Amino acid sequence: MKTISTRWAALSGGMMVVLAGLTLPTMGASATPAVTTTLAAKVALPPVALAHGGSGSKRKLQKDGTDAAAAKALAVVKAGGTALEGALAGTVVLEDDPRFNAGTGSNIRMDGKTIQMDAACMDGTTGAFGAVAAIERVKNPVLVARQVMDTPHIFIVGDGATRFARAMGHADFYPESPQAHARYEKVKRILNGKEMGDASEAWKRFNWQKAWNFTTGLKEALGSPDTVGCVARDKQGNYAAGISTGGTTITLYGRVGDVPIYGAGIFAGPKGSVACTGEGEVIVKHLVAKSVYDLMAGGMAPQTAVNRAIKAFPVEFDLGIIAISDKGEGGGCNYGESKVYTENMAWSIAR
């Protein structure tokens, strides 16, 4: 951690700054656009969309999924939809694909049945942000996060989030998938041999990660956690981001990572948008999405900003990022089969 802090402080230059060009909304998350940048000042840039399938996703096997998500997001913005509508549409494609740990493919918790999800979205033009955490029994958490944006709040959690979803018309849906069951069975076998049984309480108190003594590495055995994300720019040159997750592979009830935390898992502003994936606890401590955005807002090309962030994180703390700005697009992950970080993780660009 110390190493990351040092590396990250060096790269972000302590840039915990207030967004340039934005004045804070005074009336909650859905306040009228507060951006001081005028449309006339914007350079006309073509629509673009990027999607990622999580730091643990396999580029060879799952890129068709992120291709479809990026293509959907692009189709929405090309048809005149806003960047936010595009980012949401792309995220929904991945939430509905059970191969990804979000929405329908979300991880099952250690009790073998609970599924809790986190999601968020952000509009780079208005500064509006909406998030849900530890929400249960909904199909598309990112769409609930979008509806939070229209309330005076920015973040609703747990049972309150689920009840809010029902009030907003989201049907009861248990996002169970064979893929998540297979992941859970693997976790169970790894933790306890063949059965959870009486040993489960003891395992909760025991630092089994520290004591890991199999020849197969812990990461390899459990797989890496995942999240899905989508960033888009619309015809007007506005930016937005969406993100959704079923949480890390082994997660206690009620745990929340970076995904719904403002500036951590996603960030969007007048200069671009960013979506992350990886070790949520570490991403929060370094507000990775906001820091990458700040680098881009300072003029750095997205791929360079992504590169700097990824190089700051050792592979023990996996980190994947996608980003866009008026200087292009960037993406990659520090964890995966390839030594070339841009070749790791399923992530796609649609132009």
Q: Does 95 bind ligand ASP (CB under 6 A)?
A: no
Point out which span in 208-216, 266-274, 278-286, 300-308 binds ligand ASP (CB under 6 A): 278-286
Contacts of 9 (CB under 8 A, 6+ apart): none
| Strands 239-245 vs 228-233: parallel, antiparallel or unpaired | antiparallel
Distance in Å, CB of 152 to ligand ASP, minimum: 26
Q: Confirm or reject binding of residue 331 to ligand ASP (CB under 6 A).
A: no
Residue 257 contacts ligand ASP per CB under 6 A: yes
CB of 343 to ligand ASP, least distance (A): 18
Determine if 278 is a binding residue for ligand ASP (CB under 6 A): yes
Q: Which of 227, 245, 248, 249 is catalytic?
A: 227
Tell me the C-alpha distance between 86 and 73, whole Å.
4
Distance CA 203, CA 249 (A): 15
Tell the residue number behind the tokens 């929060």, with chain if given.
Answer: 284
Minimum Å gap between C-beta 277 and ligand ASP is 3
336 binds ligand ASP, rule: CB under 6 A: no
Of the pair 147, 224, the CB lying nearest ligand ASP is at 224
**In contact, 74 and 48? CB cutoff 8 Å:** yes
* 121, 143 contact by CB (below 8 A): no
User: What residue number has its CB nearest to ligand ASP?
Assistant: 280
- Cβ proximity of 32 and 26 under 8 Å: no
- Quick one: 51 or 77, whose CB is closer to ligand ASP? 51
The binder of ligand ASP chosen from 227, 238, 325, 334 (CB under 6 A) = 227
d(CA 55, CA 344): 8
58, with CB counted inside 10 A (0-12, 13-18, 19+), is: middle
**Residues, the chain, total?**
351
Size of the site for ligand ASP (CB under 6 A): 15
Q: Name the residue nearer to ligand ASP (CB basis): 250 or 300.
A: 250
Nearer to ligand ASP, 177 or 277 (CB): 277
With H, G, I as helix, E, B as strand and everything else as coil, classify residue 130: strand
According to CB under 6 A, which one of 258, 287, 290, 332 is a site residue for ligand ASP?
258
Handedness of CA 179, 180, 181, 185 (dihedral sign): positive
Q: Give, rounded to a whole angstrom, the gap between the first and last alpha carbons of the chain.
A: 37
Binding of ligand ASP by 270 (CB under 6 A): no
Q: Which of 140, 248, 307, 348 binds ligand ASP (CB under 6 A)?
A: 248
Q: DSSP letter string over 253-311?
A: TT---STTSBTTTEEEETTEEEEEEE-HHHHHHTTHHHHHHHHHHTT--HHHHHHHHHH
**For ligand ASP, which stretch binds (CB under 6 A), given 38-46, 208-216, 240-248, 293-301?**
240-248
Residues 6+ apart with CB under 8 A from 21: 35, 36, 37, 269, 270, 271
Nearer CB in complex with ligand ASP: 95/258: 258
Question: In angstroms, rounded to a whole number, what is the distance separating the alpha carbons of residues 222 and 240?
Answer: 32
Judged by CB under 6 A, does residue 105 bind ligand ASP? no
Could you say whether residue 81 binds ligand ASP (CB under 6 A)? no
Strand partners, 319: 278
260 is a contact residue toward ligand ASP (CB under 6 A):
no
Identify which of residues 237 and 247 has a Cβ nearer to ligand ASP in the complex.
247
**Under rule CB under 6 A, residue 272 binds ligand ASP:** no
| Nearer to ligand ASP (CB atom), residue 300 or residue 333 | 333
245 binds ligand ASP (CB under 6 A): yes
Query: Is there a catalytic annotation at residue 227?
Result: yes
Q: Does 57 participate in binding ligand ASP (rule CB under 6 A)?
A: no
For ligand ASP, the binding residues (CB under 6 A) are 54-55, 225-227, 245, 247-248, 257-259, 277-278, 280, 283
**Which residues form the catalytic set?**
227
